[in-house]
Amino acid sequence: MSIASDVHSLLEKMGVSRDKYTGGTLSVRTPVTGAVLADVPTVTPEQVEAAIAQAATAFGQWRQVPAPRRGELVRLLGNVLRENKEELGGLVSYEAGKVISEGLGEVQEMIDICDFAVGLSRQLYGLTIQSERPEHRLVEQWHPAGVVGIISAFNFPVAVWSWNAALALVCGDPIIWKPSEKTPLTALATQALFEQAAARFGEVPAGLSTLLIGDARTGELLVEDRRVPIISATGSTRMGRIVGERVAKRFGRSILELGGNNASIVTPSADLDLTLRAVAFGAMGTAGQRCTSLRRLIVHESVYDSLVGRLKQVYANISVGCPIEGNALVGPLIDKASFEAMQASLQAAKAAGGIVHGGERVDVHGPEAFYARPALVEMSAQTGPVLEETFAPILYVLKYSELEDAIALQNDVAQGLSSSIFSTDLRDVELFLSAAGSDCGIANVNIGPSGAEIGGAFGGEKETGGGREAGSDAWRGYMRRQTNTINYGRTLPLAQGVKFDV
Ligand code: UN1
């Protein structure tokens, strides 16, 4: 396979010039074979400074463009994405190692959020509130908040940008993007597609959307700059803790999407055929490299043997292979470090008494590519690596007898992103969804924890960071709220009955 030339022609088709991915210091490898694809130039601190200054100027102009007109730019972006879905989806597969349908699915998520944001551009509603004073009116309105810094991870190299970008743009905010160092090519392509949309739109202020390819220092410069009032960061809890603290220190706002340690509970009444398929996709899809991937399966003792027996077979037979050619469902891990982390977790699980099925390396495209058979690990207790997020296809299985205990086990981890229950018993389901149930930002019924639609707010609690992106009212995170009290009378009654006659 000559992936490099395929990738270069995809980049060219999407309008990325050669100088953007040659002659630089950042070597990009494809996880598909481990081959080097490009040497991408990175930004200097001076370029970061100039980009922030330009975005701040762009804000002055963009916030005055009517929101539905801003929506038109996002509508055009959605069109350009539709026209380039195969190319961008293919590039995601080459650069992040996703199987083709998942690469395309990621671009579909971008298109969906554009559609959502276009509608939203006519609905950035505030409230009218009853005043306690005569001839007074209280309203709340939402204004653009300023430049949004977007820090994204390798596993959803372009969709995460789009959830933030589409909302920020209709909300009146310029965007500056620092993508993962592992996936700068998909970022370059996305920025080129944005520029196509901007050219169709017409008068877009310079610096409305900027891409900064660089290392952690680039991210730090963004995070520490007061001219960037909002930082949306997706990645590890370790990274998020640093970002959150630094942004809070300057009283900025952060939207954090950090680690997950997502569980599904399987109750005695579960439809096991459906459960099996959902567990397979949740735990092995994207080679376990979603923040929403299923990592813990908590199974009632009455169905444990039948479900886990069938799961072992699925795990032993799942197709692990090239994400581009053939029909494999599980592609590679992103790199060697990721494979080593997987092996370390499996060792730790064994040391803690776990019984490991699978997890070994699979040779697909030679020694520089890291493919692994997904691992199913039977644990007698929730200890050691079960408490951590390992970004690899490892599913820990635990047994329970009382649902309350299963829910407690599910919640007894530091992370709080996604969760689900498999049950046809109304009482079990409603307990799981109740205030005494799952403590996660996402709680599903009879589907796995991953694969959320963009219409809902996406994000989680505790060490997942508390941020919400995408649908519902997540747009509010990209605007500032203003409360207005308007006196249309001739007297000045004070609130709370206060007298102050001069
Ligand atoms: C992520 O893994 O960073 O819900 C996001 C899902 C996808 C998004 C995952 N829509 O699995």
pLDDT tens digits, the chain, 502 residues: what are they? 689 999 999 999 999 999 999 999 999 999 999 999 999 999 999 999 999 999 999 999 999 999 999 999 999 999 999 999 999 999 999 999 999 999 999 999 999 999 999 999 999 999 999 999 999 999 999 999 999 999 999 999 999 999 999 999 999 999 999 999 999 999 999 999 999 999 999 989 999 999 999 999 999 999 999 999 999 999 999 999 999 999 999 999 999 999 999 999 999 999 999 999 999 999 999 999 999 999 999 999 999 999 999 999 999 999 999 999 999 999 999 999 999 999 999 999 999 999 999 999 999 999 999 999 999 999 999 999 999 999 999 999 999 999 999 999 999 999 999 999 999 999 999 999 999 999 999 999 999 999 999 999 999 999 999 999 999 999 999 999 999 999 999 999 999 999 999 9
Residues of the chain with CATH 3.40.605.10: 3-258+465-483
**Choice from 232, 234, 291, 454 to test ligand 1 binding pocket (greatest atom count within 8 A of CB):** 291
Contact 403, 265 (CB under 8 A): yes
pTM, 2 dp: 0.98
Cα–Cα distance, 423 to 275 (Å, whole number): 9
**Choice from 290, 415, 458 to test ligand 1 binding pocket (greatest atom count within 8 A of CB):** 290
First-last CA distance in the chain = 85
- Alpha helices by DSSP H, listed for 285-384, are 301-317, 336-351
Contact 16, 189 (CB under 8 A): yes
Neighbours of 218 (CB within 10 A): 22
Cα–Cα distance, 432 to 263 (Å, whole number): 12
> DSSP state, 33?
T
Query: In terms of C-beta density within 10 A (0-12 exposed, 13-18 middle, 19 or more buried), how is residue 305 classed?
Result: exposed
Q: Strand, coil or helix: what is 311? A: helix
Element (H, E) at 31: none
Could you tell me which residues are beta bridge partners of residue 234?
257
**Choice from 101, 156, 234, 286 to test ligand 1 binding pocket (greatest atom count within 8 A of CB):** 156
CA 106 / ligand 1 centre spacing (Å): 9
CA 418 / ligand 1 centre spacing (Å): 10
CA 15 / ligand 1 centre spacing (Å): 27
pLDDT score, position 2: 86
The question of whether 378 is a catalytic residue gets the answer: no
Could you tell me which residues are beta bridge partners of residue 218?
none
CA 392 / ligand 1 centre spacing (Å): 14
Nearest by Cα to 219 from 148, 146, 156, 151: 151
Residues of the chain with CATH 3.40.309.10: 262-455
Atom 7 of ligand 1: nearest residue by CA position: 451
CATH-assigned architecture of domain 3-258+465-483: 3-Layer(aba) Sandwich (3.40)
Cα–Cα distance, 290 to 282 (Å, whole number): 9
Neighbours of 381 (CB within 10 A): 11
Cα–Cα distance, 490 to 135 (Å, whole number): 9
CA 287 / ligand 1 centre spacing (Å): 13
Q: Which atom of ligand 1 is nearest to the CA of 454?
A: 10
CA 186 / ligand 1 centre spacing (Å): 17
DSSP per residue, 217-246: HHHHHHHT-TT--EEEEES-HHHHHHHHHH
DSSP per residue, 244-306: HHHHHHTT-EEEEE----EEEEE-TT--HHHHHHHHHHHHHGGGG-STT-EEEEEEEHHHHHH
**CATH superfamily membership of 262-455:** Aldehyde Dehydrogenase; Chain A, domain 2 (3.40.309.10)
Question: Which residue among 257, 378, 463, 469 is the active-site one?
Answer: 257
Q: Which residues line ligand 1 (CB under 6 A)?
A: 109, 155-156, 234, 290-292, 450-452
pLDDT score, position 454: 97
To the nearest 10 degrees (0 to 180), the angle between helices 159-171 and 67-83 is 160
Structure token pair of residue 76: 């055009």
Contact 167, 68 (CB under 8 A): no
Structure token pair of residue 387: 């408490």
Q: Strand, coil or helix: what is 43? A: coil
Neighbours of 69 (CB within 10 A): 12
> DSSP state, 121?
T
Q: Which atom of ligand 1 is nearest to the CA of 234?
A: 3
Nearest by Cα to 292 from 429, 414, 443: 443
CA 470 / ligand 1 centre spacing (Å): 11
Cα–Cα distance, 49 to 83 (Å, whole number): 34
Nearest by Cα to 495 from 132, 189, 196: 132
> DSSP state, 330?
B
pLDDT score, position 1: 62
pLDDT score, position 182: 98
